Chains A and B, each alone.
Chain A
Amino acid sequence: MKHRTLYFVLALAMVLSLALSGCGKKATGPLTFVLVPKNLGNPYFDTANNGAQEAAKELGVTVTYQGSAAADATQQIQLINSLIAQKVNGLAISANDSDALVPVGKDAIKAGIPVVSWDSAIGKEGRVLHINQAVLHDIGAIEIKMALDLTGADGGKIAILSATSTAPNQNAWIEVMKEELTKPEYAKLELVDVVYGDDDDTKSYNEAQALFKKYPDLKVIIAPTTVGIAASARAVTDAGLIGKVFVTGLGTPNQMREYVKNGASPEFALWNPGDLGYLSIYVLHALATGEIKGVAGEKFTAGKLGEYTIQEDADLGVNVLLGPPFVYNADNIDQFNW
């Protein structure tokens, strides 16, 4: 008997403490949206949440940021089930598994909760629309534009340092870059070589060094891969070529901060996850208030990002395109931490 009483007292204490600490602030805004990342503790998603909170303030809605401990579909579905149960007013999800999340997304929509996916899409039937961060063409185009920025009006020799020779994304971007180079405004840019660093830091570094030797008057290295761009910028720094050879391409702020500041890579591009979170909340708000239904051709305005038109294509279904890639440079890089 004595033991049992002990058990109960202990159990009660435990559960009570849990419950009491659970009596935190509850969402009181008129509309509550939830931004669901792939997992918690990832600075990329935290940046998206900052953007989402900014949108929440402007719209006067509540946005909570909730994710599973691990980037795992089973856990994410469990989380979404509890969010459906709470009858939140909208879900913006970065899917851990585009297919496995379709049934739970359907459930949410059936329960009257608009679902959009961002960053990583849910299959077409499991969401109203997807917020697409970038399209192929824009990524290729911005890289050539940055290259011309860096060489100046006189142009010069440029080279591409890619991932592997079979990487589908990179190859598609390189095709776009080559097309862009045929335009008259880029006539002074001369693409001298395309090399492959295999997304390996050391190999990329060595390939960059080889480029310096082979083309002493090389002006710009474009690396459309986050591994290649950092390795190239380090190679430029180590070889004392800052100011002579510039590196640009696709990178992330934390990895490139030092090279933006030392001049090895004055600018590079990628989408801004903050804007992605911001737009997600505006889309949810437009859906929840009935401003849009999520059909191609509809237009809506998303605060500072301006007007958007919903589109539809075979690959992504109904989607909204965030816009041209974001250019990071010395003026803005310290606003980002991911």
Chain B
Amino acid sequence: MTVPSSAEGDTLSKSLINAAAPPRTFLARFQRWEWMLVGLIVIVVALNTALSPYFLDAQNLSRTSSDFMEMGIMMLAMVFIIITGGIDLSVASNLGMCASFMGWLFMAGVDIWIAALAALALGTFAGFVNGTLVARMKLPPLVVTLGTYAFYRGVAYVLLGDQAARGYPEAFTYIGQGKLLGTLLPFSVALFGVLAVVFGLVLHKTTFGRYLFAIGNNENASVYSGVPVARIKVIIFTVSGFMAALAGLVLAARFGSTRPDIGNGLELSVITAAVLGGVDINGGAGTMSGAVLSLFLIGLLRFGMGLLNIQGQVQGVVIGLLLILSILLPNVAHTFSGSGRKLQRHSLWAIIAFVVVFIAFVAFFFWSREAVLIK
């Protein structure tokens, strides 16, 4: 995202401070948002345990956790991109294209593992195309990936049409359905865990990671400071493509089949998870732990709501409201810490109104749900 010129001096100094003393900034962030997420998770777990006898059940949690891993895998790379101020809307379409490509090869008689490798290569290339268009051609990522969003999904349909690729061998479906030997831990969760640690380390412990924050805070300043901005952008979009393909393999393995609409619409869930995790949509701020926590929060919240038989539409509304709240609260906090009492009162009222609307909506829903159910 471009920075308005009037604020350029301000953000420039901000980016310099960031680059100079990142650990402190992260710690401050952690205190604010990550603990909030931990608190929410604790509340959600406690309430769900109280409300449903099926919630705290290892078997159930194990089964439901794998429902969110494809999302999580794509989210890791998305965090990188959003921190630089970019966005990748094409991830779910890329996932669909790669899974379909693998299915198409498999149906044509290619060995499943070779097909899977080819799919990973295709996804990586698709990400590279995004990155090249964004970084080398200087096109806005929103528009580029909106275009490839349609294009990649289109390719999936061209490959498989209205057919399904099926009959994947058990060794392959293990990726999506299997559990680690002797435990209830799904393989996909373990895979996500390892990747999350790797991505977290890269983001917070390497120069590369610090460059991502610098680009997000002020791209121009980064260029003049000698940060290889274009190359980094190509790399992160390429990584995002690879992760989308990997998520595609996991999802296809979980389904035991592929249809071209596989993973449709997941990109928005991925972005939601990242932003709810405290990754600033304008770039420049965010932590991997926050994003991972928010993924857990969303998963537990959705599972809990599912156990209470809350319908899908409303689950979406709750997550959406949580998201709005998550971007609203830091702004309010900023107002509090800043000066100006009028602003402060204004924001407080906005929050109160927000909570009232939220409660009213939930009440309304349950009222309407009862009306629908008991005919």
Contact = CB atoms under 8 A, between A and B. Distances in A.
27 contacts: A3-B333, A4-B32, A6-B332, A8-B36, A10-B325, A14-B321, A14-B355, A15-B47, A17-B355, A17-B358, A19-B50, A21-B362, A40-B313, A72-B261, A72-B264, A73-B259, A74-B264, A77-B67, A78-B302, A82-B306, A85-B306, A85-B307, A87-B54, A98-B164, A99-B257, A100-B259, A107-B63
A112 interface: no
A85 B355 contact: no
Interface string A55-94: 0000000001111111011110111011111110000000
Interface string B23-64: 000000001100110011001100100111010010010011
Nearest to A102: B256
B363 interface: yes
B149 interface: no
Interface of A: 2-4, 6-8, 10-19, 21-25, 40, 49-50, 53, 64-70, 72-75, 77-79, 81-87, 97-100, 102-103, 107, 123
Instruction: Please give me the 4 A-B residue pairs with the lowest Cβ-Cβ distance, nearest first.
Output: A82-B306, A99-B257, A69-B312, A100-B255
Interface string B122-161: 0000000000000000000000000000000000000000
Contact of A15 (B44, B262, B306): B44
B310 interface: yes
B222 interface: no
Interface string B314-337: 011010011001000100110011
Given A24-B370, A84-B63, A74 B313 contact: no
A6 B334 CA distance: 13
B252 to A, nearest CB: 9
Interface of B: 31-32, 35-36, 39-40, 43-44, 47, 50-52, 54, 57, 60, 63-64, 67, 164, 166, 173, 177, 251, 254-257, 259, 261-266, 302-303, 305-313, 315-316, 318, 321-322, 325, 329, 332-333, 336-337, 351, 355, 358-359, 362-363, 365-366, 369-370, 372-373, 375
A17 B257 contact: no
A3 B32 contact: yes
A4 B47 contact: no
Contacts of B51: 19, 22-23
A24 B366 contact: yes
Nearest to A72: B264
Contacts of B365: 21
Nearest to B348: A6
Nearest to B336: A3
Nearest to A101: B255
A99 B164 contact: yes
Nearest to B66: A81
B303 A82 contact: yes
Contact of B166 (A65, A78, A99): A99
B201 to A, nearest CB: 27
B164 A97 contact: yes
Contacts of B305: 22
B234 to A, nearest CB: 30
Contact of B255 (A66, A79, A97): A97
Nearest to A34: B309
B177 A103 contact: yes
A178 B43 CA distance: 67
A97 B259 contact: yes
Contacts of A64: 309, 373
A168 to B, nearest CB: 12
Contacts of B39: 7-8, 11
Contact of A22 (B262, B310, B351): B310
B35 A100 contact: no
Given A24-B370, A75-B312, 18 more contacts: A3-B337, A7-B36, A10-B325, A14-B322, A14-B355, A18-B47, A18-B362, A22-B51, A69-B312, A72-B265, A81-B306, A85-B303, A97-B164, A97-B259, A100-B256, A100-B257, A102-B257, A107-B63
